[in-house]
């Protein structure tokens, strides 16, 4: 950021501080859920200015920060403020800046910050087409190709829309060379996704939440996130692939095989119940119930295809009820993630593409 733009940003922030009380109406988690007119307001501009204060020198943004607050408000946070694409970081900030710019708040400091963030995403892509969770790279699972919580597909969707000049990115100053780079990055990313799809016994199935950067094989992340087939992250990947306007046969095959896997991986007759125990603590349990809606596991064993539940001890178990209380209640091991995809989105996609 140039010294002139830094000076302007400071001036903007000082001017806005007099009405800082008005800038708490919209939570940061809701900043992309506002009506179009909101992005032209002083509140939106104030938030965009604040967001720029969090931008790392590399161009990206940290995660788990309430950016309606000044950075110094997080001085006691346990999270290290490193740039990442995890937990919607960087893509959220870029889209917010784009919406504010498109709404007429086109100050140079906003456009410069956007382009720095845009370049950060391009620089973070591996040669194999994937993205790590953190860039610059951190040791450990952070360097894996990361599908967890839709991290990589969020990046690809943003680059796709930028390359096509889709709203709200049409007026943010992306030049032709950057558009071409974004288009190439998108194609490489799709190729990486197709290569990562796990084949078992000659049949394509789904994806792991993270894949080894070198082999692209399913890989460990945190102790309770084993190499596996994911009943959650695979949904986001399939939705992304279904957004490709003219999918080639390899993309169609990836979608079809993943959808078939979702059908076979569904868990029938298992009720997942939240309850309050005798000790007054909230808990979750499962029990047989033939009337229960079908659910899917977050993790499926790569050899047996059976649901697997792993706590912080890395020990795989067959039942959610058998892992420790803290993880059982602090992580989503069972859910209905593919239900809407299978019931509505996939049939509509097939119809739109004239598939039999």
By annotation, the residues acting in catalysis are 87, 222
User: What is the spatial distance between Cα 6 and Cα 97, in angstroms, rounded to a whole number?
Assistant: 16
User: What angle separates helix 151-163 from helix 233-242, to the nearest 10 degrees?
Assistant: 20
* Cis upstream peptide for 225 (omega within 30°): no
Quote the strand ranges of the chain, DSSP E: 145-146, 199-200, 203-204, 210-211, 229-230, 270-276, 282-288, 296-297, 299-300, 309-310, 316-317, 334-335
User: What is the spatial distance between Cα 285 and Cα 105, in angstroms, rounded to a whole number?
Assistant: 50
Comparing CA positions, the residue from 144, 307, 311 lying closest to residue 224 is: 311
* Phi-psi domain of 349 (left: phi exceeds 0; alpha: psi -120 through 50; beta: other): alpha
End-to-end CA distance of the chain: 53
In sequence order, the β-bridge partners of residue 272 are 286
User: What is the spatial distance between Cα 286 and Cα 31, in angstroms, rounded to a whole number?
Assistant: 36
User: What is the spatial distance between Cα 102 and Cα 123, in angstroms, rounded to a whole number?
Assistant: 25
User: What is the spatial distance between Cα 338 and Cα 341, in angstroms, rounded to a whole number?
Assistant: 5
In sequence order, the β-bridge partners of residue 273 are 285
In sequence order, the β-bridge partners of residue 284 are 274
């Amino acid at each position: 950021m140039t010294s002139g733009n830094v000076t302007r940003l400071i001036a903007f922030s000082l001017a806005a501080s007099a009405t800082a009380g008005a800038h708490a109406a919209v939570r940061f988690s809701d900043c992309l859920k506002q009506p179009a007119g909101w992005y032209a307001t002083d509140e939106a501009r104030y938030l965009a200015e604040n967001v720029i204060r969090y931008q790392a020198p590399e161009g990206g943004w940290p995660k788990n920060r309430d950016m309606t607050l000044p950075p110094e408000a997080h001085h006691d946070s346990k999270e290290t403020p490193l740039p990442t694409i995890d937990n919607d970081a960087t893509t959220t900030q870029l889209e917010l800046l784009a919406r504010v710019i498109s709404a007429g708040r086109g100050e140079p400091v906003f456009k410069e910050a956007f382009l720095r963030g845009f370049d950060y995403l391009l620089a973070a892509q591996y040669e194999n087409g994937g993205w790590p969770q953190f860039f610059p790279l951190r040791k450990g699972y952070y360097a894996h190709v990361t599908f967890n919580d839709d991290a990589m597909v969020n990046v690809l969707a943003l680059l796709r829309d930028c390359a096509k000049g889709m709203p709200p990115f049409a007026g943010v100053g992306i030049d032709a060379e950057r558009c071409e780079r974004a288009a190439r990055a998108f194609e490489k990313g799709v190729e990486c996704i197709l290569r990562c799809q796990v084949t078992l016994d000659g049949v394509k199935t789904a994806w792991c939440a993270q894949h080894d950067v070198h082999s692209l094989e399913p890989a460990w992340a945190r102790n309770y996130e084993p190499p596996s087939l994911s009943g959650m992250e695979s949904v986001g990947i399939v939705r992304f692939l279904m957004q490709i306007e003219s999918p080639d046969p390899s993309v169609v095959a990836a979608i079809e095989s993943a959808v078939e896997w979702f059908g076979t991986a569904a868990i029938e007759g298992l009720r997942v119940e939240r309850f309050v125990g005798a000790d007054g603590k909230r808990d979750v349990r499962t029990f047989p119930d033939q009337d229960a809606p079908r659910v899917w596991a977050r993790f499926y064993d790569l050899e047996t295809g059976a649901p697997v539940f792993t706590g912080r001890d890395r020990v795989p178990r067959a039942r959610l009820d058998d892992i420790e209380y803290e993880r059982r209640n602090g992580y989503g091991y069972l859910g209905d993630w593919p239900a809407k995809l299978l019931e509505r989105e996939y049939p509509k996609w097939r119809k739109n593409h004239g598939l039999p």
